[in-house]
Amino acid sequence: MKPILCFPVLDRRILLSSLAMLPVLSASLRSTSAVAQAQRDPLPSWNEGATKASILDFVARVTTQGGPFFVPAEQRIASFDNDGTLWVEQPMYVQLAFALDRVKAMAPLHPEWKDKQPFKAVLEDDMKTLAESGERGLLELVLVTHAGMTTDEFAKIVSDWLATARHPRFKRPYTELVYQPMLELLAYLRANGFKTFIASGGGIEFMRPWTERIYGVPPDQVIGSSIKTRFEMKDGAPTLFRLPDVNFIDDKAGKPIGINEHIGRRPIAAFGNSDGDLEMLQWATLGTSGARFGLIVHHTDAEREYAYDRQSHFGKLDVALDAAAVNKWTVADMKKDWKRIFAFD
């Protein structure tokens, strides 16, 4: 630090670039600035308070070598739900909006859909009838729109759709509707040696084309629901063909199962926002003596985002909210705890 402190009138950029020519001094300068960076607030979009303090405290505890709660880096596993935890899930799951758009795009090849539910309801934007088709109707829509092509083709369909689709209220690409405080949290955990995973009820192949770019989470750290695939050689080229057959539902009690299957270790921290995340939070935090961290994002901000919990159709938060109180999970109150919701705020 000394050279800089002694010549405060020097332009810092000029100083840095001349120092850069001296490899020795620049090395020591770089480590000084790394310390300064670490001392900066790693979670600038989180307001000061108990929620933010609980995050910082947990990370400090598990990374303090020699401390009673130290966890070796390879065991620092954190799992995040996606819909409603990392990005917006209202007025409907993004993947459902995708499926509805796909039905419309595919309709010219399926003239029979004009008279066949639940497709008719989609084509007529009749959300009431669509809702009445229930889970079976939705599953039919998902299988028709998500199967019948190779994995490469599906990844391209998803990427193309995300490039043009806009959220009905925010009029922005869905990949901009990711929560800035959670992006900071992901980066902060990784900077502290955590491996960050997504464990979502959404489709694993619907997320993988963009999670690395948007969240910094590579495809092999994404867990989600899936349909079966079939391997075949086609004109000398290997392909995986997507079949209209459910393989795995990564929701509720499925989340710990999917997490075990993919990670093979219990996370020491889990982040969710709905009853679908209850078992993941239990799996990560309970029945162990070490430091563990559970956090629920509570959507309380109708003005900047949405306000919903116990009665919501998408992202219902009821038993998991009660469990949070019992199990001492942190509840992040979006309105109170988040300075900004989105990067563009």
Binding status of residue 38 toward a second copy by CB under 8 A: no
Backbone angles phi, psi at 300, to 5 degrees: -120, 10
Q: Which stretch binds a second copy (CB under 8 A): 59-67, 125-133, 224-232, 312-320?
A: 224-232
Q: Does 81 bind a second copy (CB under 8 A)?
A: no
Smallest distance from the beta carbon of 154 to a second copy, in angstroms? 11
In angstroms, give the least distance from the CB of 322 to a second copy.
15
Residue 29, SS3 per DSSP: helix
Tell me how far apart the alpha carbons of residues 124 and 134 are, in angstroms, rounded to a whole number: 17
Question: Tokens 């990711």, residue?
Answer: 178
Q: Find the binder of a second copy among 53, 191, 286, 302 (CB under 8 A).
A: 286
Contact residue for a second copy among 7, 17, 20, 28 (CB under 8 A)? 28
Q: What does DSSP assign to residue 14?
A: H
Q: Residue 132 or residue 153: which is nearer to a second copy going by CB?
A: 153
Residue 278: closest CA among 244, 297, 251: 251
* Under rule CB under 8 A, residue 205 binds a second copy: yes
Strand partners, 295: 271, 330
Q: Which of 83, 275, 279, 305 binds a second copy (CB under 8 A)?
A: 279
User: Judged by CB under 8 A, does residue 338 bind a second copy?
Assistant: no
In the DSSP assignment, the letter for residue 299 is -
Helix H segments across 165-247?
Answer: 180-191, 204-215
Question: Judged by CB, which is closer to a second copy: 282, or 312?
Answer: 282
151-155 long-range contacts, Cβ below 8 Å, gap at least 24? 151/205, 151/229, 151/239, 151/240, 151/242, 152/239, 154/205, 154/242, 155/205, 155/208, 155/209
- Contact pattern from residue 229 through residue 268 relative to a second copy, giving x for each residue in contact according to CB under 8 A and a dash for the rest: xxx-x--xxxxx------x-----xx-xx--xxxxxx---
Q: Which residues would be at the binding site for a second copy (CB under 8 A)?
A: 23-24, 27-28, 74, 77, 151, 195, 197, 204-205, 208, 212, 218-222, 226, 229-231, 233, 236-240, 247, 253-254, 256-257, 260-265, 279, 282-283, 286-288
